[in-house]
Amino acid sequence: MKIGTKFIHAGMEPDPSTGAIMTPVYMTSTYVQEAPGVNKGFEYARSQNPTRKALEEALATIENGQYGLAFSSGVAATDAVLKLLAPGDEVVTGNDLYGGTYRLFTKVFERFGIKFKYVDMGSLETVEAAMSAATKLIWLETPTNPLMNIGDIAAISNIAKSRGALLCVDNTFASPYLQNPLDNGADIVMHSSTKYLGGHSDVIQGALVVNEKGLYDQLYFIQKSCGAVPGPMDCFLVLRGIKTLHLRMQRHCENGEKIAHWLRNHPKIGKVYWCGFEDHPGYSVAKKQMRGFGGMMSFELKDNSVEAAKKVLSGTHLFSLAESLGGVESLINHPASMTHASIPREERIKNGLSDSLIRLSVGVEDADDLIEDLARAIG
């Protein structure tokens, strides 16, 4: 199936009891068994739910994987991956990382004896140099949040495999419409389904997709044992969101390209971070592994002060000042005080995330209206 057809039909089977074309929302906590251990494939809703099962099949399909797992949030999905590790294991990850992931790594898993190395994932030499005998996982965001840096999935997969480590790719910013990390050698794909998969800012959910049965079994055991499962209504909402993912992403990409170029040509804008610029250091890799460049970007004003940034952040009307991303509506965000506030300032500054950086999640509104909104706010 072509990609648009795949998104619409993934996980879709008519309900066997009624023929309903949409997957029903199974609001139940348990299932009646004919005899002990004799059931219809469902025992208890923390372990299985028919709505969740349909979503997990859809997630596997759209990421070209074999097995999908739906979690109660993206952080819960990340947490499950880290629970594959043991004290003394090491993780190599990016120095430009979503603040919630950084917080989970530093404030939770470091306490259990897991070591994290934060490096420039755009440099294969740096990634290679960070590996050791204790490295069991490479955690890669590409594009990164919020500086839009690019990591070469295939090349980093080769590094991981040569050292016996797993590669997990956070594919939230790209979505399965723009890239499929398993096709490039990743072992695990993670999504905050809250973002582009759901697409309507009305659900919190996470996802993992893998190809290897043994790895799936481990992750399923962790999910079942630790309990970070989504409710059936949330699963229904993400299933519904996936059906229009290709349509939404097409518009996100179109609008993103227009706004990125408009920002770059604005006399008051200093630097624009968007991986679709041909002079972006990761452009050639992005072009190789992605189908488009998306609607996520960040920028700095020439007046690179927090005061000037706050004036812009509070001056938009169509761009709503809020955390999150990937919804149909456009959002504007201040990473230093919002999504990345948990990262110490000195670490943020060292890695290029300034106090005045502004992040945009460009929605699917009319691009000219969005440009006019930004023009008024920037002045």
Residues annotated as catalytic are: 46, 98, 170, 195
Q: What is the DSSP string of 91-129?
A: EEEESS--HHHHHIIIIIIGGGT-EEEEE-TT-HHHHHH
Residues linked to residue 91 through DSSP beta bridges, in sequence order: 116, 137
In order of 12, 17, 24, 70, 146, the CA distances from 21 in angstroms are 8, 11, 9, 21, 39
Q: How far is CA 361 from CA 75, 136, 209, in A?
A: 20, 33, 24
Tokens of 225: 């044992």
Rounded Cα–Cα distance for residues 101 and 78 (Å): 8
User: At what angle are helices 245-264 and 232-243 packed, to 10 degrees?
Assistant: 70
The b-or-e profile of 213-227 (16+ CB within 10 A means b, else e) is eebbebbbebbeeee
Q: Where are the alpha helices (DSSP H) in the chain?
A: 3-9, 50-62, 74-82, 99-103, 124-130, 153-162, 175-178, 213-226, 232-243, 245-264, 283-289, 306-313, 345-350, 367-378
Burial 101-131 (b: 16+ CB within 10 A, else e): bbbbbbeebeeeebbbbbbbbbeeeebbebb
Backbone angles phi, psi at 93, to 5 degrees: -145, 180
CB atoms within 10 A of CB 87: 9
Residue 81 in tokens: 């991956």
323: Cβ contacts below 8 Å, ≥ 6 apart:
331, 333, 338, 339
Q: How far is CA 248 from CA 55, 190, 196, 295, 366, in A?
A: 19, 20, 9, 10, 13
Tell me the one-letter amino acid at 346: E
Estimate the crossing angle of helix 232-243 against helix 50-62, to 10 degrees: 30
